[in-house]
Structure 1
Amino acid sequence: MFRGLAAFPLTPMNEDSIDEAAFVRLVRRLAAARVNCIGALGSTGSYAYLTRAERARVAEIAVQNAEGIPVIVGIGALRTRDVIQLAEDAQRAGAGGVLLAPVSYQKLTDDEVYGLYEAVTRSLSVPLCVYDNPGTTNFSFSDELHGRIAQLPRVLSIKIPGVPGNPADAKDRVYALRERIPQSVSIGVSGDAHAAAGLNAGCDGWYSVLAGLFPKTCMSLTSAALSGNSELASQLSARLEPLWEMFRRFNGSIRVVATAAVLLGLASEPNLPLPMRGLDTGAARELREILRQLELRE
């Protein structure tokens, strides 16, 4: 479950409700591609903007439409009490695992973050992936802290935020973390532009935003890297550079993939929680041309 390609779809929504029909379409698209894992309520799934009831419903829909593919569900929240409740909801829905980022308003200390994972894993009955995402949480894990948390029961993966671009430095980064954690704990790379570099450096999987829309494209890159064809994986990633550039330009991937979902006819507009918005008309036109030139359909 925590190895190979984990695809993270949008949770299409408006200010009144979740667009359940659109979310079902996205999940079934991933199931048909036979990704290794489906990640519901990741950052691209806008988990932080939803109520507990809405998140429970999204988890339920994801599991019901995954066609047997394991579903991991994001359970991040500001308070430990709420995280534990969200974990209960995810397990009740049939999630195969959970994904936890240390969400905060006040900056957290290492001991506070360790205490969060310790409290959650104490009552958890499914595996947990540590979500290291300083770009949204403003918390940076040290390898030492990862090592402490990785000793807790049920912790089976760490989702890291990219690796250095230089292959030797990337391998050193992965090796340094690997030295701190049990062999049973996998390392998954995120930040889609870093996927090939991370996989080629020894990461066990790719936690992917782009795979939430284009699972077969991302499966090809993942398979190349994990089979040892690092050159092909790098070539496939380089071909996608126009998308990576848009991700960088628009402060992350969510606005780009939200607009792409509309262009593909998989979701309507708006599909993001306000105040976030999809791309403006000019950028959407540019994105449409990029998708056409790359022949990106699935």
Structure 2
Amino acid sequence: MFTGLSAFPLTPMNEAAIDDAAFIRLVERLAAAGVDSIGGLGSTGNYAYLTPAERRHVGRLAVEHAGDIPVIIGISALRTRDVLALAEDAQSIGASAVLLAPMSYQPLSEAEVFGLYQAVTTHLSVPLCVYDNPRTTHFQFSDALYERIAALPNVASIKIPGVPEGTVAARERIERLRARLGPRITLGVSGDPMAARGLNAGCDAWYSVIGGLFPETALRITRAAQAGEADRAIAMCEHLQPLWTQFERHGGGLRVVATAAELLGLAGSPCLPRPLMALEGDERNTLAELLDQLRLA
């Protein structure tokens, strides 16, 4: 489950409601493509903007429409009390695993983050993936903290934010982490522009934003890396550089994939919770032209 392509779909919504039909369409698209797992309610799924009831509803839809594909449900929240409740919800609706980032308003210490994972893992009956996303959480994990958390029960994977540039530096980074964490913990790369580099360096999984909208494209990169075709995986990833440029320009992948979903008729417009907005005007037109050129699937 924590290997290969883990695809994280958008949760389309407007200010009135979640677009159930669009979300189901996205999940079924992933299942039909044969992704290795589906990550519901990650950052691309806008978990932070939903009520607990809405999150339970979205999680249930993901599980019900994923077929045989395992579903990982995000349970991050500001308070440990709420994380525990979300974990219970995720387990009760049939999630195969959960994903947890140290979400905060006040800056967190390493002791507080360890305490969060310690409290949650003792109440789990499914595996947990540690979600290291400093762009959104503003928390930086140390390798020592990774090691402490990895020793907790039910921790199975760490979603790292990326790997260094350069083949040798990337591989050395993954080897150092494996030496500290042991064989039980899988490592998954996020930061889509670094996907091929991370997989080639020895990461077990790609936790992917574009995989949630363009699963076949992401699967081709993943399968090439898994087959040892490192140069081919890098070439396919570099082919998408214009898309990665859009990610960087717009603060990450969310606004870009949301706009792409709207342009392709996979989600209505608007499909993001306010104050978030999809791209407009010239920026939207530029993305439409880019999607036509890249022919993503």
TM-score interval (norm. to shorter): over 0.9
For 1:173 and 1:133, how far apart are their aligned partners in 2? Answer: 17
1:102 match: 102
The sequence identity of aligned pairs, in percent, is: 60
Deviation string, structure 1 residues 81-114 (Cα, Å, up to 9, x no partner):
0000000001111000000000011111111101
Per the TM alignment, residue 182 of structure 1 is displaced from its structure 2 partner at its CA by 2.4
Provide the C-alpha distance between the structure 2 equivalents of 1:255 and 1:195, rounded to a whole number of angstroms: 19
Does residue 190 (structure 1) correspond to residue 202 (structure 2)? The answer is: no
1:173 Cα deviation from its structure 2 partner = 1.3
Q: 1:230-269 alignment to 2 at 5 Å?
A: 230-269=230-269
Cα deviation, 1:106-153, whole Å, max 9, x if unaligned, reads 111111101100100101000000000011001000011000000111
Q: Deviations over 1:215-239 (max 9, x none)?
A: 0110000000111110000000010
CA RMSD of superposed structures (Å): 0.6
Deviation at 1:293, TM superposition (A): 0.8
Aligned length: 297
Contact preservation (8 Å) 1:151, 1:182: no
Offset at residue 288 of structure 1 (A): 1.0
Once the two structures are overlaid, the 10-residue window that deviates more, 170-179 or 102-111, is: 170-179
What CA distance in whole angstroms lies between the structure 2 residues aligned with 1:193 and 1:282? 24
Map 1:48-127; keep pairs closer than 5 Å.
48-127=48-127
CA distance in 1 between counterparts of 2:90 and 2:236 reads: 34
CA–CA separation in structure 1 for the residues paired with 2:171 and 2:145: 20
CA distances 1:237-282 after superposition (whole Å, capped 9, x unpaired): 0100010000000111100000000111100111111101000121
**Alignment partners' CA distance in 1, 2:136 and 2:293:** 31
> What TM-score, normalized by structure 2, do the two folds share?
0.99
What are the superposed Cα offsets for residues 159-182 of structure 1, whole Å, 9 maximum, x if unpaired? 000111211111111111111112
Deviations 1:168-219 (A, max 9, x none): 1111111111111121110000000000110011100100000001001100
SS of match in other structure, 1:236? helix
Separation (CA, whole Å) in 2 of partners of 1:112 and 1:86: 19
The residue number in structure 2 matching 1:9 is 9
The list of structure 1 runs, each at least 4 consecutive aligned residues, that deviate by more than 2 angstroms after superposition, is none
TM value normalised by structure 1: 0.99
CA distance in structure 2 between the partners assigned to 1:99 and 1:265 by the alignment = 29
Whole-Å Cα distance in 2 between the matches of residues 9 and 160 of structure 1? 19
**8 A Cα contact 1:11 1:46, kept in partner:** yes
CA distance in 2, matches of 1:195, 1:77: 27
2:50 maps to a residue whose letter is L
On the 8 A contact 1:10/1:45 being kept in 2, the answer is: yes
Q: Which moved more, 1:279-288 or 1:212-221?
A: 279-288
> Aligned partners of 2:175 and 2:140: how far apart in 1?
18
Letter in 2 for 1:198: G
CA distance in structure 2 between the aligned counterparts of 1:5 and 1:142, rounded to whole angstroms? 25
Q: Distance in 1 between matches of 2:62 and 2:171?
A: 34
CA distance in 2, matches of 1:284, 1:67: 34
Q: Does 1:39 align with 2:34?
A: no
Q: Does 1:142 align with 2:142?
A: yes
Once residues 58 and 295 of structure 1 are traced to their aligned partners in structure 2, the CA distance between those partners, rounded to angstroms, is 29
Counterpart secondary structure, 1:219 = helix
Deviations 1:58-95 (A, max 9, x none): 00000000011000000000000000000000111100
Q: Which amino acid aligns with 2:110?
A: D
